[in-house]
């Protein structure tokens, strides 16, 4: 097999396990195939620069990456390269600069680690520049189609579950309603998975509608059973009863989900009189040491992605299906958004446990 020089970049929001995937790519590409691996800084932005911003990744530097949170390469979820924000306030298509950066580095192929949005962008650039792209899915939201696991999801679920475990005791001590607001963007995977594991009494996800009256009915039902507290987990993208999204505009003018916990608290308190508190878990779900499962998935994906390059099977994404790594064409992966299935096992399990999950 001939010598290759490959690039690797992380794109979109960070999560735990990205570094474990970078390590696996280096182990396989350098250790097995004796290729060269260049780590590209700050997602595609590293390729826009001239000279491109990249570092050579060696076997001796990657050992501790297995446990390190974040991404050693940096990343961004800002700045679509096709409408890149320039310093003078205008927007500019920088895709050709990225293609030029790939060639300037002399890359034979590139591995992009990203969520569905990043993957769509990377694929468009690869198609335009005829670049050899292989993709690895990552996102705490776990909403990339076709794959059962994306890197980062399991760690986020562990963090949210631990938060519920902690809230449980303080809720019981004070006879309170405790609301935990978690991330997940447009899908409720973190909320439903952590909610079941962490013993929530109410799980609210964007895929299923709810009523405040039925949440208050749940409080009453529990009181009749001699239970004086209620644990609620709500996904950030859950809407108001009227169907409006709850969003905040941050200091940079960016619009993000946020505030559904407070919305619910006000209404639950007004309707039931229960003392209610809100915890917004936020970026704690993205940071920290990856769970063993995320390390495993990241390692398997990293090795398989390099093997795809060895086979010259480009325009494919590695996925986790039935305990196996399977590669699928990237267009197939990004064509299917993976929301929580309202008639799936998790929903049935939650309802079977007596959890209020909406109507
Ligand atoms: O997509 C990952 C994610 O963490 C979402 O769950 C969340 O809505 C969003 O990113 C937060 O983005 P930012 O880091 O820009 O605040």
Q: Tokens 């650039």 identify what position?
A: 125
On whether the CB atoms of residues 324 and 341 are closer than 8 A, the answer is: no
For 177, the token pair is 């309603």
pLDDT of 79: 83
Closest CA to 232 of 269, 272, 191, 273: 191
- Quote the ligand 1 centre to 235 CA distance (angstroms): 12
- Quote the ligand 1 centre to 98 CA distance (angstroms): 24
To test ligand 1's pocket by mutation, which of 137, 138, 156, 185 has the most ligand atoms within 8 angstroms of CB? 185
Closest CA to 165 of 217, 233, 226, 215: 233
pLDDT of 339: 98
Strands (E), 5-96: 5-10, 36-40, 54-57, 84-85, 91-92
For 132, the token pair is 């050899």
pLDDT of 32: 98
Using DSSP, how many helices (H) and how many strands (E) does the chain show? Answer: 11, 15
Residues of the chain with pLDDT under 70: 1
Taking the C-alpha atoms of residue 233 and residue 278, their distance in angstroms, rounded to an integer, is 10
To test ligand 1's pocket by mutation, which of 15, 141, 247 has the most ligand atoms within 8 angstroms of CB? 141
Of 14, 141, 143, 154, the catalytic one is 141
pLDDT of 45: 97
Question: Does the predicted TM-score (pTM) go above 0.95?
Answer: yes
pLDDT of 19-74, one tens digit each? 999 999 999 999 999 999 999 999 999 999 999 999 999 999 899 999 999 999 99
- Quote the ligand 1 centre to 77 CA distance (angstroms): 8
């Amino acid at each position: 097999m001939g010598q290759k020089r490959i690039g690797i970049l992380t794109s979109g929001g960070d999560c735990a396990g990205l570094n474990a995937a970078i390590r696996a790519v280096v182990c396989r590409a350098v250790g097995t195939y004796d290729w060269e691996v260049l780590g590209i800084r700050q997602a595609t932005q590293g390729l826009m620069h001239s000279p491109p911003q990249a570092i050579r990744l060696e076997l001796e530097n990657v050992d501790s990456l297995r446990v390190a949170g974040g991404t050693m390469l940096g990343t961004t979820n800002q700045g679509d390269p096709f409408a890149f924000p320039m310093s003078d306030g205008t927007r500019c298509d920088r895709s050709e600069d990225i293609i030029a950066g790939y060639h300037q580095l002399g890359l034979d192929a590139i591995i992009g680690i990203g969520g569905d949005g990043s993957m769509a962008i990377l694929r468009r650039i690869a198609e335009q520049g005829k670049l050899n792209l292989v993709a690895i899915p990552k996102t705490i939201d776990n909403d990339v189609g076709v794959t059962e696991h994306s890197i980062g999801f399991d760690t986020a679920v562990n963090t949210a579950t631990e938060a519920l475990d902690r809230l449980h005791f303080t809720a019981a001590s004070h006879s309170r309603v405790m609301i935990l607001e978690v991330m997940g963007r447009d899908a409720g995977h973190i909320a439903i998975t952590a909610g079941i594991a962490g013993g929530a009494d109410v799980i609210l996800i964007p895929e299923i509608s709810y009523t405040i009256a039925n949440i208050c009915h749940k409080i009453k039902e529990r009181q009749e059973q001699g239970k004086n507290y209620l644990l609620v987990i709500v996904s950030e993208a859950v809407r108001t009863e009227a169907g409006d999204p709850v969003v905040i505009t941050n200091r940079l003018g960016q619009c993000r989900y946020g505030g559904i916990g407070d919305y619910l608290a006000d209404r639950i308190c007004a309707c039931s009189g229960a003392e209610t508190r809100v915890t917004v878990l936020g970026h704690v779900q993205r940071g920290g040491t990856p769970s063993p499962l995320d390390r495993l998935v990241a390692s398997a994906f990293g090795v398989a992605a390099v093997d795809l390059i060895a086979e010259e099977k480009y325009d494919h994404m590695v996925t986790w299906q039935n305990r196996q790594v399977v590669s699928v064409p990237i267009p197939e992966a990004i064509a299917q958004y993976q929301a929580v299935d309202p008639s799936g096992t998790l929903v049935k399990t939650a309802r079977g446990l007596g959890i209020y999950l909406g109507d």
